[in-house]
C-alpha cells in the first residue's frame, strides 16, 4: 500500500515537472516559430511580433522560483533588459536596412500572417491561463493586436509603409521595455545593498 502511494506521489511530481517545463518552453517555441516564419516569408510584421512574443515568454518565466535575494532579482531583471535592448537594436537594424533598401520585405501574405499570429496568441493566452496570470494588460491584449490588424488592413488596401511603421512601433516599445528593465535592475541592486 505504501509503495503504491509513493508511486502515485512520484507520478504526480513527474507530471508537475513536465507541465512546468512545457509552460516555460512553449512561449519560447512560439516566439522562435514566429521569427522563423517571418524570416522565411520575409515578413516584417512577423519578425517584429516575434520580439513581442519573446518578451512575453520572458515575463511569464521571470518570477519562477521567486522570492530571491536582491542580487539575483537584479541580475534577472538586468538580463531581461539587456536582451530586450538587443532585440530592439536588431529591429532598428532591420528598419534601417528596409529604409536604405538593403533588405526588401515581401509582406505579401496578410491572411497567413494574421492566422499565424492568432494561433501564436492563442497558445500564449493558454499558457498565461495555466500560470494564473490572466490579468488584462492594455499593451499586450489590446494595443498590439489592434495595431497588427490595422497594419495588415492598411497594407492590404495599398499603403505599403504600414508594416515599416509597425516595425518602428515595436522597436520603440521593445527598446523602452529594455531600458526600463535595466533601470529596474539598478534600483533592485541598490535596494538589496541596503542603501
pLDDT tens across 66-104, in order?
A: 677 777 778 888 888 899 999 999 999 999 998 898 988
Domain count for the chain, please give it.
1
Residue 56 domain-assigned?
yes
pLDDT at 17 (0 to 100): 47
Residue 113 domain-assigned?
yes
Does position 18 have pLDDT exceeding 60, yes or no?
no
Question: What are the Cα distances from residue 20, in Å, to 51, 72, 83, 127?
Answer: 23, 21, 23, 10
Range of the structural domain that residue 94 is part of? 27-192
Q: Count CB neighbours of 154 within 10 A.
A: 17
Residue 12 domain-assigned?
no
How remote is the C-alpha of 135 from its chain's centroid? 16
Structure confidence by residue, pLDDT tens digits, 141-174: 778 888 888 988 898 888 888 998 999 999 999 9
pLDDT at 172 (0 to 100): 93
Residue 13 domain-assigned?
no
pTM, 2 dp = 0.80
Residue 8 domain-assigned?
no
Amino acid at each position: 500500500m505504501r509503495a503504491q502511494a509513493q508511486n502515485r506521489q512520484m507520478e504526480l511530481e513527474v507530471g508537475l515537472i513536465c507541465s512546468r517545463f512545457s509552460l516555460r518552453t512553449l512561449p519560447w517555441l512560439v516566439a522562435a516559430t514566429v521569427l522563423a516564419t517571418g524570416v522565411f516569408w520575409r515578413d516584417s510584421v512577423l519578425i517584429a511580433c516575434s520580439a513581442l512574443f519573446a518578451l512575453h515568454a520572458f515575463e511569464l518565466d521571470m518570477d519562477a522560483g521567486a522570492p530571491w535575494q536582491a542580487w539575483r532579482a537584479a541580475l534577472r531583471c538586468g538580463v531581461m533588459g539587456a536582451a530586450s535592448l538587443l532585440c530592439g537594436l536588431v529591429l532598428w537594424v532591420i528598419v534601417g536596412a528596409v529604409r536604405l533598401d538593403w533588405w526588401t520585405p515581401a509582406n505579401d501574405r496578410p491572411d497567413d500572417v494574421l492566422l499565424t499570429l492568432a494561433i501564436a496568441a492563442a497558445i500564449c493566452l493558454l499558457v498565461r491561463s495555466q500560470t494564473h496570470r490572466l490579468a488584462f494588460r492594455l499593451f499586450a491584449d489590446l494595443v498590439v493586436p489592434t495595431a497588427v490588424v490595422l497594419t495588415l488592413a492598411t497594407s492590404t488596401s495599398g499603403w505599403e509603409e504600414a508594416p515599416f511603421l509597425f516595425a518602428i512601433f515595436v522597436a520603440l516599445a521593445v527598446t523602452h521595455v529594455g531600458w526600463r528593465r535595466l533601470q529596474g535592475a539598478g534600483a533592485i541592486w541598490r535596494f538589496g545593498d541596503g542603501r
